[in-house]
Structure formats: structure tokens, C-alpha cells
Amino acid sequence: MHSSCDDVETTGVDAIARELAGEGLDARRANARTEAALARVFAKAAHVGARRVAELASPSSREAELPYRALAAELGAAMNMSDRTVQRRMNDAAILDELFPATFAAWEEGWISGGHVAVIMEHGTSLTDPEARGKFETEALIRAEGTTPGRLGAALARLAESLQPRPLAERHREARASRGACVRDIGDGMAEFISTQPAVLAHAMHDRITQQARAIKNTDPTDTRTLDQIRADLVADMVLTTTPTVETGAGMSDGFGGLGAIKAIVNVTVPALALAGVTDEPAELVGRCPIDPATARALAGHATGWDRVLADPITGCVFAVDRYTPSADMKRFLRARDQHCRFPGCRQPAHRCDRDHTLDYALGGETSVCNLACLCKRHHILKGETAWTVRQLGGGILEWTSPGGHVYIDKPPPAIHFTPNTDPPPF
């Protein structure tokens, strides 16, 4: 009887979880529709402002801004919002309405959230060709409905790059000149120190101070600082107490100064022909953004080991990773295939995750790539200690089932994102 009661109680909890998940989804969609309705008001205000500016006779730049300011002040006063905030949102809404009408419509219907909209605009606005932007928007909306804004960003960065008319190597050479550092006061005796860097260096810097911050936190349990606070203190210590060397002070203008000094973990995927200098296909900072092939080749020159990733040239799905030691091969394969934690929506990098047996080893599960997946500590514990379950469907695809009975499919991100070249090899 005790076992039967437990089953009834568990079933009741699962039903509640399922009901709450449904209510949450309905509320999220309603919230999206409300956010979109407000954005539509801002878009209309922007169009009214544009018409009023057009009616002015040879206005100065200051006079041309006044109709926008007046409307922003009107809306801001009515909604208890800053007129500067309203004016910025008017501009954003006008761009969304003009460049991404299908995205605006999907938002109004509640199919995507404001976070998805922001990511689509972030990566699609740089596409100036209407046809390319239309292709981008169509594909972006398909991907947006099945993932979180965080995961969507990396996928759309690759998609936008594939539609750019100019190669990344050329654009990166120009953009690299904008690197720099500045300070912005934010009040209460605080300021932001902002450094604009090539993506590889920026992510490597963050990874390195994160490793050091975790080591400090783990060594001293009495340290009450948060991880973010320790990271900030480390940046200040490093900048104020270290002396540049020839290696670190060479600068990107003189070559690739700094890349050789990276001691953080940076995962880069680069096509073999681009690595050899035969093509200028962009490489990828795994799970983040495309990077120029010259930077990828410079990093490759300092690499202590190589993983040859065999992937489908169309889908990019990983087939195998070549290395000699079997256990190491599996780890490298999983890192290449999964790239991040495989719980739906999680983006914790694979090198910070556990390699979890989908079917527990104690229950007969094999130690093979078809029964392994990268899970961060949080979701590894969730899988083992709660009613969440997962099974492998083949090809690295995971089927997660929540305690409430909802099913979520998590597919491994493509590791290679390049159009196959049908020309004969140049050798």
C-alpha cells in the first residue's frame, strides 16, 4: 500500500508540473504579444515622427530631431518612462518594422519572445542586401521557435556570415583597427572599463579570469565575494601590477601579438583547406561566432594537439574524431559534437561539463559515444536526482522528458557550417 500511495503522490506532482508548464507557456506567449503591441505603438510613433520631419522646410540636424523628441516625451510621460528610452525604442521598432516584418508578425502572434527578436535584429541588421536579409529572416524564425535566445545567437552569427557579400577575412582586417579601451562613469563612484578586442582574445581573457576566479573561490571558502566580483578584482590586479613583455606587447597591428600568450581554453573549428591557406573560409570560435582564417591559422601554430573532425558536409553533424588513445578520443569526440551542455537551453561550454552516461553504467549502459553526452554539474545532478529523464535517439540527438510529461528534443549543434565545394581538390 505504501508503494501505491507513493505512485499516486508522484503522479499528482507530475500532473501539477505539466499544468504549470502549460500555464507558463501561455503566459510567455501572452507576454510576448503584449511586448509586441507596445513595440507596434513605438513603430507607429517613429513613422509619425518621420512624416513630421519630412514636412519641415530645410531643417537643421537639431530641428529635424525635435519631432522625435516631442513624441518620445509625450509617450514617456504617459507611460512613466524616460523620453530617451522611448526614443531609442522608437528607433528600434522602426528598424524592426522596416527590415524584419515577418519577425514582428511572429512576435505579435506570441511565437517568439522579445529576446529572440533582439538576437535576430542584432545579427541580421548588418545584411544590407534585401534578398539576403529575407533569407536570413526566414531561416532565423524557423530556428527561433525551437531554442532559447542564448543558443540562437551563435547559430544566427554563422547564418549571417554565410550571407555576407564580403569575406570575413577582409572585414576583420578593417574591424580590427577599431580595437581599444575606454572608461564610462556610471555613478555612485563606479565606472565601466571597456575593452574592444578580437573575439578570440576577448573570450580567452574571460575564460582565463574565470578559471582563476574559481581557483581562488575553491581555495578560500571564507571568501564572500561572488565570482563576478573576483573576476573584476583580477582584471584590476593584472592591469595595474603587470609589465608588458615583447610577446604580449607586440600588438595586433604587428602580427598576432597576444595569441601566442593565451593560456585559456579556446575551441576553434577551422576547415582543412582554410588551415592550409588554400581558401579563405571563416573558422568558428565554437559556440560563439565566426573568426577570420588568419587568426585561426595563428592559433593553430601554437596548438599542442589536433583533433581531426569528420563531419557531414551538408548538415555539419560530427561522424568521428581521430586520435590514438581510446578514452581521450571519446572525450574529444563529445567536445566536438556537443560543444555545450546538452540540457535544453543550456550553453555551458563542453570543456566545463561532465561526460554523462545517458543510461547509467551501473544499469548496463555502455561507455560509448552513443551513450554519452556533455552535461554541466547543475543538469547532471538534475538528471540523476529528479524525475527528469533522457534517452539517445541516435546521431547525438537527446530526448528529454520532464516530470510533467513534456518532451524536449535537443540536437547537437553543427560543428562545420560551410557550403561544400564540388570543385576537384587542388592537389
Q: Is the pLDDT of residue 4 over 50?
A: no
What would the pLDDT profile of 348-397 be if each residue is shown by its tens digit? 888 889 889 898 877 877 778 888 999 999 999 999 888 899 999 988 99
Look up residue 197 and give its DSSP letter: -
What residues contact residue 418 under an 8 Å CB cut-off, 6+ apart? 271, 281, 313
- Cβ–Cβ < 8 Å for 214, 226: no
Regarding predicted confidence, which is higher, 88 or 146?
A: 88
CA-to-CA distance for 276 and 169, rounded, in angstroms?
15
- The predicted pLDDT at position 333 comes to 85
* pLDDT at residue 364, as a whole number: 75
Give burial (CB, 10 Å; 0-12/13-18/19+) of 136: buried
- Strands 308-311, 318-322: pairing is antiparallel
User: Rounded to the nearest 5 degrees, what angle is found at the Cα of 115, between the Cα atoms of 96 and 145?
Assistant: 90
CA angle, 361 then 365 then 366, to 5°: 100
Task: Please give the average per-residue pLDDT across 119-146, as a whole number.
Answer: 92
Residue 345 sits at φ, ψ, to 5 deg, of: 90, -15
Stated length of the chain: 427
**Mean pLDDT of all residues in the chain?**
80
Q: Per the confidence metrics, is the pTM higher than 0.85?
A: no
- End-to-end Cα, the chain, rounded Å: 74
More confident residue, 314 or 22: 22
SS3 state at 112: coil
Averaged pLDDT for residues 11-40? 89
**Grid cell digits, residue 45:** 510613433
Average pLDDT over residues 226-236: 91
Mean pLDDT of 51-76: 78
For 265-317, write each residue's pLDDT tens digit. 556 666 666 666 677 776 666 555 676 777 767 666 666 555 555 555 555 55
pLDDT of the residue at 337 = 87
> In the predicted model, what is the mean pLDDT of residues 322-347?
76
Of 79, 80, 83, the C-alpha closest to 49 is 83
pLDDT at 286: 58
Q: Could you count the other beta carbons within 10 Å of the beta carbon of residue 166? A: 8
List the beta bridge partners of residue 390. Answer: 400
- List, in sequence order, the alpha helices (H) in 109-253: 114-124, 130-144, 149-162, 168-175, 199-219, 227-241
